[in-house]
């Protein structure tokens, strides 16, 4: 089979890992020995998920039910199973991807924004009489077309407005700001009970809001393949499928790997690397100018938009031209917009600072904004791993003497410190199918 040509995504993967390798000041022999060791460890040796059973969500599950499953199981993401395929040995037929709690909330926010636009457009558009901008945006937000999708969205908008004491007779078009402001709290009440939320399925939003491809490995695969997928190839989780069986047996996340690394403290191979200051390992793998941040007085929606546009899971919240860090927000935090109606009712005008303060007020005992996790350039990799694992977070911010943000270290970056990719490993191991899914 002819080798596939490398596309833009493959180039970005290579550029990231080449930067990592060029900055690590570790003996080549040590890196080769450690990489070879991970190549000999089978995936089956990695601890199973809590309870030993991977939670799956059928593709025809409604958005509301999906939220309930994730919440009750205390997980942030789950594989999406094709309910039309009962018996198959091909995982490509059985699974459609992975749904993330944050992706659902992003969809909800965008849909709510469309409903607000429908209200602001006037009673005719809000009632679904005219197509116009509201209809077009509704189709885009829902990932579908046709009058049913548009009508469902605008019916929900009108229902929310009426519940809030607004009606066409009161003149929505003349009082659009009031209509939009009233939308939030009432929209929250109907969000999982009315259309389009009640009938919108996980499958219909999966493609538009998917952050990463679905690429499983077999139980007899090597841990090196998993570590490369979680680091170089930027996956947040890797499903594990038993050879000859299409069902998922395990679900390995970046966070689980970091916890596993921390438990290796005291072993020679781990200490040999983790005892180094992060600066010797080339961390952070970015320049200060490359750090994506948000000012505390910006809108929280702008923060979430930056995360989505840059495909990153969190941002430092900074103040002033020196970007002094005062907090952090992550993609997981947007769930508070659904859990706290008072936040959802004003999400379009809510600043990052007010968002953090409101969340902090709900935290038992402290009532204060949680301090962002930071480190200095002279701290050891071991201390960074301990901080990430013990706080169960995905990133730590590198700061200077003036508390200004100079870089970010993610779970992906930490995993990258322990491995490199042997020549032709990707082509020989993952194969053409995986290259297609990774967009290479």
pLDDT tens digit string along 198-249?
678 899 888 776 666 788 888 988 999 999 999 998 888 999 998 778 889 9
Is residue 259 over pLDDT 70? yes
* Structure tokens given for 324: 């002094």
Confidence (pTM): 0.78
- Alpha carbons within 13 angstroms on the beta-carbon side of residue 243 total 7
Is residue 113 over pLDDT 80? no
> What mean pLDDT is predicted for residues 5-15?
65
Is residue 355 over pLDDT 80? yes
User: In this predicted structure, what is the pLDDT of residue 91?
Assistant: 86
Report how far residue 99's alpha carbon sits from residue 233's, in angstroms, rounded to the nearest whole number: 18
Is residue 126 over pLDDT 50? no
* Structure tokens given for 325: 């860090």
User: In this predicted structure, what is the pLDDT of residue 434?
Assistant: 54
With a CB cutoff of 8 Å and minimum separation 6, the contacts of 83 are 58, 59, 60
Query: CA of 419: how far to CAs of 32, 154, 167, in Å?
Result: 8, 52, 62
Report how far residue 439's alpha carbon sits from residue 12's, in angstroms, rounded to the nearest whole number: 11
CA dihedral 122, 124, 129, 133 (to 10 degrees): -30
User: In this predicted structure, what is the pLDDT of residue 88?
Assistant: 80
User: In this predicted structure, what is the pLDDT of residue 134?
Assistant: 32
Comparing 9 with 203, the larger pLDDT belongs to 203
Q: What phi, psi does 376 have (nearest 5°)?
A: -105, 160
CA dihedral 91, 94, 96, 97 (to 10 degrees): -50
Is residue 103 over pLDDT 80? no
Query: CA of 289: how far to CAs of 325, 365, 439, in Å?
Result: 15, 37, 27
Of 1-15, 17-31, 126-140, 152-166, the one with minimum mean pLDDT is 126-140
Rg (CA), the chain: 24
- Look at residues 241, 213, 251, 222 and name the one whose alpha carbon lies nearest to residue 90: 241
Handedness of CA 270, 275, 280, 285 (dihedral sign): positive
User: In this predicted structure, what is the pLDDT of residue 240?
Assistant: 93
User: In this predicted structure, what is the pLDDT of residue 129?
Assistant: 29
Are 400 and 406 in contact by the 8 Å Cβ rule? The answer is yes
**Neighbour-count burial for 363-392, b at 16+ CB within 10 Å, e otherwise:** eeeeeebeebbbbeeebbbbbbbbbbbeee
pLDDT digits (tens, 9 = 90+) for 59-94: 999 887 887 788 778 788 899 999 988 788 788 889
> What mean pLDDT is predicted for residues 177-195?
48
Comparing 430 with 4, the larger pLDDT belongs to 430
Is residue 277 over pLDDT 60? yes
> What mean pLDDT is predicted for residues 119-132?
38
Of 65-74, 179-188, 189-198, the one with minimum mean pLDDT is 179-188
- Look at residues 168, 178, 205 and name the one whose alpha carbon lies nearest to residue 61: 205
Q: What phi, psi does 111 have (nearest 5°)?
A: -65, -40
- Alpha carbons within 13 angstroms on the beta-carbon side of residue 222 total 17
The H-assigned helical ranges of 144-240 are 147-163, 176-190, 202-206, 223-230
* Structure tokens given for 66: 């999906």
Report how far residue 77's alpha carbon sits from residue 88's, in angstroms, rounded to the nearest whole number: 23
SS3 category, 219: coil
Comparing 115 with 312, the larger pLDDT belongs to 312
pLDDT digits (tens, 9 = 90+) for 135-168: 333 333 333 333 333 344 344 443 443 333 333 3
Is residue 340 over pLDDT 80? no
Of 119-128, 189-198, 346-355, 384-393, the one with minimum mean pLDDT is 119-128
User: In this predicted structure, what is the pLDDT of residue 39?
Assistant: 92
User: In this predicted structure, what is the pLDDT of residue 149?
Assistant: 38
- In percent, the amount of the chain with pLDDT more than 90 equals 34
Report how far residue 187's alpha carbon sits from residue 189's, in angstroms, rounded to the nearest whole number: 5
Helix-helix angle 431-438:8-23, to 10 degrees: 90
> What mean pLDDT is predicted for residues 423-439?
62
DSSP at 331: G
User: In this predicted structure, what is the pLDDT of residue 243?
Assistant: 75
Are 59 and 80 in contact by the 8 Å Cβ rule? The answer is yes
Are 351 and 364 in contact by the 8 Å Cβ rule? The answer is no
User: In this predicted structure, what is the pLDDT of residue 183?
Assistant: 43
Is residue 31 over pLDDT 50? yes
What is the residue whose two structure tokens read 């490398």? 6
> What mean pLDDT is predicted for residues 270-283?
92
Comparing 174 with 326, the larger pLDDT belongs to 326
User: In this predicted structure, what is the pLDDT of residue 188?
Assistant: 46
Are 438 and 7 in contact by the 8 Å Cβ rule? The answer is no
Terminal C-alpha separation, the chain: 16
Is residue 97 over pLDDT 50? yes
With a CB cutoff of 8 Å and minimum separation 6, the contacts of 145 are 139
Strands lying side by side in the sheet with 324-330: 294-295, 314-319, 324-330
Q: For the chain, what is the mean pLDDT?
A: 76
> Facing residues of 314 across strands?
330
């Amino acid at each position: 089979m002819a080798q596939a040509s490398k596309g833009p995504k493959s180039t970005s993967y290579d550029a990231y890992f080449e930067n990592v390798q060029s900055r690590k000041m570790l003996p080549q022999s040590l890196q080769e020995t450690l990489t070879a060791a991970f190549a000999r460890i089978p995936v089956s040796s990695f601890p199973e998920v809590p309870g030993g059973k991977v939670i799956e969500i059928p593709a025809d599950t409604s958005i509301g039910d999906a939220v309930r499953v994730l919440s009750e199981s205390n997980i942030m993401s789950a594989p999406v199973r094709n309910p039309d395929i009962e018996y198959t040995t091909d995982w490509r037929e059985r699974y459609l991807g992975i749904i993330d709690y944050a992706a659902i909330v992003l969809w909800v926010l965008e849909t709510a924004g469309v409903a607000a636009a429908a209200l602001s457009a006037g009673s005719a558009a809000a009632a679904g009489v005219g197509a116009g901008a509201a209809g077009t945006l509704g189709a885009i937000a829902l990932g579908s077309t046709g009058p049913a999708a548009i009508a469902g969205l605008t019916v929900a908008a009108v229902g929310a407005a009426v519940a809030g004491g607004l009606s066409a007779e009161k003149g929505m078009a003349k009082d659009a700001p009031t209509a939009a402001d009233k939308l939030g709290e009432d929209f929250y009440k109907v969000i999982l009970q009315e259309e389009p939320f009640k009938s919108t399925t996980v499958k219909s939003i999966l493609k538009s809001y998917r952050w990463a491809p679905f690429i499983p490995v077999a139980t007899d695969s090597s841990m090196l393949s998993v570590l490369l997928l979680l680091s170089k190839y930027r996956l947040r989780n890797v499903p594990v499928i038993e050879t000859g069986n299409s069902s998922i047996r395990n679900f390995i996340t970046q966070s689980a790997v970091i916890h596993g690394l921390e438990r290796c403290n005291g072993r020679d191979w781990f200490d040999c690397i983790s005892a180094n200051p992060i600066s010797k390992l080339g961390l952070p793998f970015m320049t200060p100018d490359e750090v994506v941040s948000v000012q505390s007085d910006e809108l929280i929606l702008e923060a979430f938009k930056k995360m989505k546009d840059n495909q990153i899971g969190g941002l430092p919240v900074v103040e002033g031209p020196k970007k002094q860090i005062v907090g952090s927000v992550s993609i997981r935090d947007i769930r508070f917009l659904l859990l706290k109606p008072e936040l959802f009712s004003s999400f379009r005008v809510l600043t990052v600072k007010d968002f953090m303060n409101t969340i902090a007020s709900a935290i038992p005992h402290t009532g204060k904004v949680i301090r962002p996790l930071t480190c200095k350039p002279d701290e050891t990799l071991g201390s960074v791993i301990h901080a990430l694992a013990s706080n169960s977070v995905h990133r730590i911010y590198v700061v200077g003497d003036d508390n200004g943000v100079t870089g970010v270290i993610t779970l992906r970056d930490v995993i990258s410190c322990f491995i490199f990719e042997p020549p032709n490993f990707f082509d020989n191991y993952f194969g053409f199918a995986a290259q297609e899914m990774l967009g290479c």
